[in-house]
Structure 1
Amino acid sequence: MSEHSEDGGESTVIPIIILAAGPSSRLGQPKQLLQLQGEPLIHRITRYASESNTGPVVVVLGSQAKKIQQAITDLPVHICVHTDWKKGMGSSIKAGLKFVEKKFPAAAATILSVCDQPFLEAGHFMSLSNAFRKKRSEIIASKYAGTFGVPCLFGKRFFSSLEKLRDDQGAKSVLEVHRNEIAFISFTKGNVDVDTAMDWEKVQTLISSKPY
């Protein structure tokens, strides 16, 4: 795998953007800071992203940014504080992408990820980036439970489509438009995420019943 430099000097650099700006309003507390096996969820996801050696990791923060950033200070990541996070997921995607394009202008692609898929591990980030490097496609999505979505990879030619997202749209809208071009990577339990207290109880039950 190619090395990457701070200035994004390699064309094979694939930054990972972790979207973690939301307020977790349905949960009633920051999901980013939920403790899973003694580790904050944001730390777990960010650590796996870093361990994948896919490329630089950019974490987009918004609600309670300072508090959440403190949970990942030991990790080699870049922080993008998005002050307009209330506008929605699309605005966070655009903020993260703008950060990537400025700091890593030679990036050949980027991976969009969220912070609340507890079964996401380094190997999946590697599978997405390897599929791109092997030229399977320039748009690659995770497939799970009869659907598809994040984490997903977009080659540079799709950056303009992401930049045109409405503030309230997610990456799925771009995936839908280009569905016939997508290469899919299976992600076991990728459908498990954390939006409510009930979701979190389910996650803890699944984690405790390893192997999963």
Structure 2
Amino acid sequence: MKIYGLVLAAGLSSRMGKLKATLPLDEGTVLSNCIRSLLDGGVADVFVVTGHKAEEVESEVHKLGMHTVYNPDYENGMFSSVIAGVKALPDDVSAFLVLPVDIPLVRSSTVRALTFEFKDSPADIIYPAFKNERGHPPLISAKLIPEILLHDGTGGLRKVLERHDSGARNKNMPDLGILHDLDTPEDYTTALKFSRNKRFPLPEECESLWELAETPQTTQEHCKAVAKAACTMAKALNSARREGPLLDMDIVQSAALMHDVAKIRRNHEAKGGTLLAGYGFTGISDIVASHRDTKIDPTSPLTEKEIVFLADKLFEGSTLVTIKERYGKRISKWANDPDALKAIHGRLERAENLLTRYENEAGIKTSELLTSPAHSPLNSATFMQENNIKAQL
């Protein structure tokens, strides 16, 4: 079964004012990001449709070792590029993905999920979706090729796909990139920020991950409380730190929001780390996987991992507690098991030592820090809303 990728890069880029395909993005270009997402997602090959400033685009494509297809009718609109690209697909095509070059933030994990889904259970069309909102790139069965080639262009490719909606399905993914069009300079500025942060989920993507993992609502509220506390603690430590690296606030927030994402599963820490790594969120997967206990060399600087660990141990649900209170229930539960008690007391001692170390470096008690007006209790909806960037995308 062969699945190919089509990148449509023939447009005029009139609203951007510059050629979109060659704009720098994430250590490459907008075009190379599109190609890399498709290839890393499992497509057999990629064909790039060119038109406006074809030589510049083709030069970039050839650097990447991909194929170009020139569309002489590019001024007639995007569907003419779809036609050109579809005609160039090899005879062994089983399905293909259509990705406009101005959708460069799609994660390769999303493409991989689409290709796996089609191979496991073919459909006329499989759309990537974010909270059921469809985005790009749709994966289209080769069965639709004759109809696409015969279409007169009215309503574009969408019109053809709409006729097959009964044979289509959505694949929900925690990927805001499927919805982000790169049309204006403002869109490009947002894309630059987004691309730098692709190794961890944005707050809205965290919400999507909770849905996909069926994380209980009470656990979500705990994660939000921990995230707010972790951010406050990280900010205080950064302000006090004179040597050593500053903590990445985005990683702290993201890892804290996700630390219990797999709570309903046995060994939820490891399962959560594996889940996140599978979606490509490798920037926080190890933090989530190790938040049950902590072992850090006394000479090593505190990192985002230790902050998330400590913030988690300071909350029972959404209620601020002491570390002794947090471990107290487990000590009571395993009171008749000497081996279990020894292990729990060991984790308690390490947590208390780490807390002391944090407070010494930050120059403030966490009990004071987390009950100060600056950290005044904030309801969960407000916390997530303040950190929501979907409107920018």
Q: Same fold judged by TM-score > 0.5? A: yes
- Into which bin does the TM-score normalised by the smaller protein fall? 0.7 to 0.9
Match of 1:6 in 2: none
Aligned to 1:144: 130
2:179 maps to which of 147, 168, 191: 191
In structure 2, what is the Cα distance between the partners aligned to 1:25 and 1:42? 17
User: Cα distance 1:52–1:64, how it changes in 2: closer, same or farther (>3 A)?
Assistant: same
Mean Cα deviation higher: 121-130 or 57-66: 121-130
For 2:97, what is the secondary structure of its paired residue?
A: strand
Structure 1: state its 5+ residue gaps: 1-11
The residue aligned with 2:64 is 75
Partner of 2:145: 159
What CA distance in whole angstroms lies between the structure 1 residues aligned with 2:26 and 2:135? 26
Please report how far the alpha carbon of residue 209 of structure 1 lies from its aligned counterpart in structure 2 after TM superposition: 5.0
With over 3 angstroms needed to count, the CA separation of the structure-2 counterparts of 1:209 and 1:48, relative to structure 1, is: closer
Cα displacement string for residues 84-129 of structure 1 (whole angstroms, at most 9, x for unaligned residues): 11111111101100111xxx11211111111122321322222212
- Residue 180 and residue 50 in structure 1: after superposition, are their counterparts in 2 closer, same or farther (change >3 A)? same
Residue 117 of structure 1: aligned partner: 103
Is 1:34 equivalent to 2:7 in the alignment?
no
Measure, in 1, the Cα distance between the counterparts of 2:194 and 2:142. Answer: 36
The structure with more helix, counted as a fraction of residues: 2
Say whether residues 1:25 and 2:11 are aligned partners. Answer: no
Using the aligned pairs only, state the percent identity: 24
Question: Do the aligned residues in 2 keep the contact of 1:87 with 1:167 (CA within 8 Å)?
Answer: no
- Give matches, 1:45-60, under 5 Å: 45-60=34-49
Cα distance in 1 between the residues matched to 2:183 and 2:154: 17
Distance 1:17 1:139 in 2: 15
Q: 3-state SS of the aligned residue for 1:108?
A: strand
Letter in 1 for 2:158: K
- Highest RCO, 1 vs 2 (Cα 8 Å, sep ≥ 6): 1
Root-mean-square deviation (Å): 1.9
Q: Distance in 2 between matches of 1:145 and 1:175?
A: 20
**Partners in 1 of 2:117 and 2:47 — Cα distance?**
21
Q: For the residues of structure 2 that align with 1:97 and 1:73, how far apart are their CA atoms? A: 20
Report 1:63-102 matches (<5 A).
63-100=52-89
**Which deviates more from structure 2 when the two are superposed, residues 104-113 or residues 202-211?**
202-211
Runs (4 or more) in structure 1 with deviation over 4 Å come to: none
Name the CA shift for 1:206/1:53 in 2 (closer, same or farther; >3 Å): closer
TM-score (norm: length of structure 2): 0.47
Offset of 1:175 from its aligned partner? 2.4
Q: Which of structures 1 and 2 has the bigger CA Rg?
A: 2
8 A contact 1:82–1:95 mirrored in 2 = yes
How many residues align? The count is 198
- Tell me the distance in 1 between the aligned counterparts of 2:128 and 2:111: 10
